[in-house]
Amino acid sequence: MIDSVVNVSNVSKVYGSKGENQFQALEEVSFSMQEGEFIGIMGASGSGKTTLLNTISTLDNVSRGQIEIAGTTITEMKEQALADFRARKLGFIFQDFNLLESMTVYENIALPLFLQKMGRGRVKEKVQHVADILDIRDILSKYPAIISGGQKQRTAAARALVHNPSIILADEPTGALDSSNAASLLETLQRLNEEHQVSIMMVTHDAYSASYCERILFLEDGQLYKQINKNGTREEFFKNILDEQAEAGRKKL
């Protein structure tokens, strides 16, 4: 298939080396993600969400299985090539923003472009373009320490977006935001996805955040046990997710 951006097949991840107390964090996980999809990954704490995202984002290697992103099999690549791949094809949004407080908002967003040695004129153009989309044009010259949490996260989103990555990976992006800032960020992500066809994969444990996605993958003890699609309004989807969570809770009892 040409139009799938991510292809995960039979991925397992075991922490700890042989002989020590090993821990299987992922077990035979397989799924694929179409271009322009907005996928959510949900599951209880410790179910392996971050681990899955980290393997896809090439930050962690897998024990078994294969991952393909935009036609490249990343599980066979070397460290050097992986860094380059991350820099060109992936965009990251972290829970705690991870902005460099020694640089202005503009510089923070432009950093991936500086690293590609892009010309100054084009950098400016691109940064202003994403700043417009994310509505942070007025704070470009400020330093992260004096902007709000919502603005910080939108800055981080702009940095993730500025170099036109194939996919944006977000681990609990709303984790450090209050509900109105969270809603605004999620709306922005949704808009990016719908209007600009950006592929997004987001880890969350919160049903409200998840309801902005088109498809949700559920993880339990490292296994992918269910997925549900959005087939109607967001409110209906939200209910579906809550039901699913309740179901999972009941099973545990």
- Residues forming the site for ligand ATP (CB under 6 A): 15-16, 23, 25, 43, 45-51, 205
- DSSP run (H or E) holding 228: strand 223-229
- Applying CB under 5 A, the site for Mg ion has a residue count of 1
Scanning 47-55, 90-98, 122-130, 207-215 for contacts with Mg ion by CB under 5 A, the matching segment is 47-55
Cα 210–Cα 214–Cα 217 angle in degrees, nearest 5: 65
- Contact between 129 and another protein by CB under 8 A: the answer reads no
Query: Whole-number minimum distance, CB 131 to another protein, in Å?
Result: 16
Name which position in 112, 150, 173, 222 contacts another protein (CB under 8 A).
Answer: 112
Scanning 7-15, 69-77, 86-94, 192-200 for contacts with another protein by CB under 8 A, the matching segment is 86-94
Give which of 96, 242, 67 is closest to 171, Cα–Cα: 96
Give which of 159, 151, 153 is closest to 126, Cα–Cα: 159
**Phi, psi dihedrals of residue 151, rounded to the nearest 5°:** -65, -40
Cβ-Cβ contacts under 8 Å for 98 (sequence gap 6 or more): 156
- Contact between 102 and another protein by CB under 8 A: the answer reads yes
Q: What CA–CA distance (Å, rounded) separates 205 from 172?
A: 8
- Name the residues that contact another protein, by CB under 8 A: 57, 59, 79-80, 83-88, 90, 92, 94, 98, 100-103, 107, 110-112, 114-115, 117, 120, 123, 143-146, 159
